[in-house]
Amino acid sequence: MPLLRPLDPLHRPLPRAGSGTALAFLSTADVCRLCADCMSEGPGWNDPAGRRCGPVEAFMSVGDLCQRDPVIARPDESAREVAVRMDRVGVGSAVVVDLAERPIGIVTDRDLAMKVLRRRKDPDTTPVRAVMNDDVVTVRESAPLVRAFNRMRQDGIRRIPVTNADGELAGILTWDDALQVIADEVAGAAAVARTQMQNSRQRAKSAAEEGAN
């Protein structure tokens, strides 16, 4: 199925050339929803020319896209320690792991700001376990990428820790990673639309010339 199936020119007539009629307007949220919905229906689709088109996500696993070097934190270290580490790397979150390297929570820069600074707690004595979100959702690195996208969309989360077969932390997947893939897919769909529009115009021009003769 194409990413933009409800709007795609292969499934709906194109507006007449020069009509100025817009096909549609999509917000980022719309694109994310369409991407996840269409990917759930099956891997890829064929255009009339027989070319195999996206979505590329349907052929990718979580491990193909996730970041392999997430910032980690321990539940007993101080809020200041993890904040300094996050700032040094330039990220907004850290995955909290136990001694077996299994994810047990996530702490974000917002958690640190709202639960430590706003409440005037001492960052040197406040442990990570007191500010982290322990209702953590994880996904296996071998899982289809669409499964992670759908779970993130359904749960309203922007990042999800990735684990290996033993449940150990293997990486992290974020919406920023997802949006890059979606952007590439939208660009591919737009290229197909442009080609179809050009072909339609050429056929119309040829038919008009034949009629004139």
DSSP code per residue over 81-102: HHHHHHHHHT-SEEEEE-TTS-
Digitized pLDDT (tens) for each residue of the chain, 213 residues in all = 333 333 333 333 333 334 444 444 444 444 444 444 444 444 333 333 433 444 444 568 999 889 999 999 999 999 999 999 999 999 999 999 999 999 999 999 999 999 999 999 999 999 999 999 999 999 999 999 888 888 888 999 989 999 999 999 999 999 888 777 777 777 777 888 888 888 888 888 787 777 776
Secondary element (H or E) of residue 212: helix 175-212
Of 81, 139, 73, 78, nearest to 107 by C-alpha is: 73
> What is the CA angle 82-91-78, rounded to 5?
5
Tokens of 134: 């322990």
Please report the domains of the chain, with CATH numbers, ordered by start residue.
Answer: 1-61+143-156+176-213 (no CATH), 67-140 (3.10.580.10)
User: What pLDDT is attached to residue 9?
Assistant: 35
Look at the block and give the residue holding tokens 């660009």. 187
Query: For the segment 108-146, what is each residue's pLDDT rounded down to a tens digit?
Result: 999 999 999 999 999 999 999 999 999 999 999 999 988
Structure tokens at 62: 């979580």
DSSP letter assigned to residue 188: H
SS3 107: strand
